[in-house]
């Protein structure tokens, strides 16, 4: 089963959204089946087989999530991040401003789903592999 140290090591290789597909492959090899990351403070919960769960600590000071989501601005910010033009903290700040509360990654489906504060799906996208 994977450990918090292994997850931290894999995440340390991510400098921008352009590195995300390789990161997903790395943690998938560790046995992660899915995970969720909370924009508020960067804390994540990673899940594996047999109800294995590892939670990470907050990565930054708490952000305030906008009450109303701005889907169009979020899509622009996401594309910029995926092109490697912003780092993780900048992307999280942009997510908060656009009302994104968390994202959920499914390794089986190879998807990333973004949600607003009300729990509504804002965007579902496929992860390149």
pTM of the model: 0.90
In this predicted structure, the answer to whether residue 17 has a pLDDT above a threshold of 80 is no
Domains of the chain, start order = 4-126 (3.30.1810.10)
Tokens 């996208």 label which residue? 125
The 10s digit of each residue's pLDDT in 43-101 is 999 999 999 999 999 999 999 999 999 999 999 999 999 888 988 899 999 999 999 99
SS (H, E, C) 51-107: HCEEECCCCCCCCCCCCCCCHHHHHHHHHHHHCCCCCHHHHHHHHHHCCEEEEEEEC
């Amino acid at each position: 089963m994977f450990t918090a140290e292994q997850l931290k090591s894999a995440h340390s290789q991510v400098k921008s959204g352009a590195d995300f597909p390789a990161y997903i492959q790395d943690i998938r090899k560790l046995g992660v089946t899915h995970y969720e990351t909370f924009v508020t403070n960067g804390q994540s919960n990673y899940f594996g087989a047999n109800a294995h769960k590892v939670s990470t600590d907050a990565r930054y000071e708490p952000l305030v999530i906008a009450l109303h989501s701005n889907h169009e601005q979020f899509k622009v910010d996401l594309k910029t991040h995926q092109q490697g033009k912003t780092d993780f903290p900048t992307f999280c700040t942009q997510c908060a401003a656009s009302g994104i509360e968390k994202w959920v990654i499914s390794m089986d489906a190879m998807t990333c789903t973004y949600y607003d504060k009300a729990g509504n799906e804002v965007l579902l996208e496929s992860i390149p592999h």
